[in-house]
């Protein structure tokens, strides 16, 4: 069922820039049944209101990333709402990100394969880790051997940080 509704409180056109406080209020206002949680349909309607051309996909991705207890709903009274409106941590820790990525060198050869990168990006929260691994190889694998070596790891960390994968 597709919900395309705007609550009566939403008469102004969407703004191009939203503060965290404004986003919080917008998402809370789309809790149509007032149960303190946002369903995927309510998320979709909120993203449509915010100007997303792909409200359905944005709602699914938001639920995947912010739904800590995996009940299919975003709780408006805990950290799930915080993750929804401010999904990126403020601190970028290059060494921590490197250590997470290095853990996936499962064969211990000092190189990261596409398969190993896919597992690393899955842990980092990528919604399409296989695609992200391919893109990471395109950006970070300077010698084009199909692996990320220790020398290329800085390029990979830079790529991941640019895409919002920060710890």
Residues of the chain above pLDDT 90, percent: 40
- The model's pLDDT over 63-88, given as tens digits with 9 standing for 90+, comes to 877 888 889 899 998 888 888 887 55
7 φ/ψ angles, rounded to the nearest 5 degrees: -55, 155
List of residues 6+ apart from 110 with CB closer than 8 A = 149, 150
The secondary structure of residue 112, as a DSSP letter, is: B
Confidence of residue 8 (pLDDT cuts 50, 70, 90): very low
Lowest mean pLDDT: which of 11-25, 52-66, 131-145? 11-25
pLDDT at 95 over 50: yes
Q: What was the pLDDT predicted at 90?
A: 46
pTM: predicted TM-score of the whole model, two decimal places: 0.52
pLDDT at residue 69 in the model: 84
| Spatial separation of the C-alpha atoms in residues 109 and 79, rounded to whole Å | 39
What is d(CA 26, CA 38) in angstroms, rounded to the nearest whole number? 11
Cβ density class 77-115: b for 16+ within 10 Å, e for less: eeebbebbbeeeeeeeeeeebbebbeebbeeeeebbbee
Q: How far is CA 48 from CA 6, 41, 88, in A?
A: 9, 11, 21
All domains of the chain in start order, with CATH? 20-85 (1.10.238.10), 94-162 (1.10.238.10)
Report the percentage of the chain scoring pLDDT > 70: 86
pLDDT tens string 146-166 = 999 999 999 999 888 887 776
Q: Maximum CA pair distance of the chain? A: 60
pLDDT of 141 reads: 95
Supply the mean pLDDT for the chain: 82
Of residues 157 and 61, the one with the higher pLDDT is 157
């Amino acid at each position: 069922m597709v919900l395309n509704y705007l609550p009566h409180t939403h008469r102004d056109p969407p703004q191009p820039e939203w503060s965290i406080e404004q986003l919080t209020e917008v998402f809370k206002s789309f809790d149509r049944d007032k149960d303190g949680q946002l369903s995927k349909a309510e998320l979709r309607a909120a993203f449509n209101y915010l100007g997303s051309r792909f409200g359905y996909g944005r709602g699914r991705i938001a639920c995947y990333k912010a739904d800590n207890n995996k009940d299919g709903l975003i709780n408006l009274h805990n950290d799930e709402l915080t993750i929804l409106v401010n999904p990126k941590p403020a601190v970028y820790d290059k060494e921590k990100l490197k250590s997470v990525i290095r853990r996936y060198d499962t064969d211990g050869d000092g190189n990261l394969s596409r398969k190993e990168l896919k597992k690393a990006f899955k842990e980092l929260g990528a919604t399409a880790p296989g695609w992200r691994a391919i893109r990471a190889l395109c950006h970070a694998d300077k010698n084009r051997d199909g692996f990320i070596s220790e020398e290329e790891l800085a390029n990979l960390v830079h790529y991941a940080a640019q895409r919002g994968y920060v710890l």
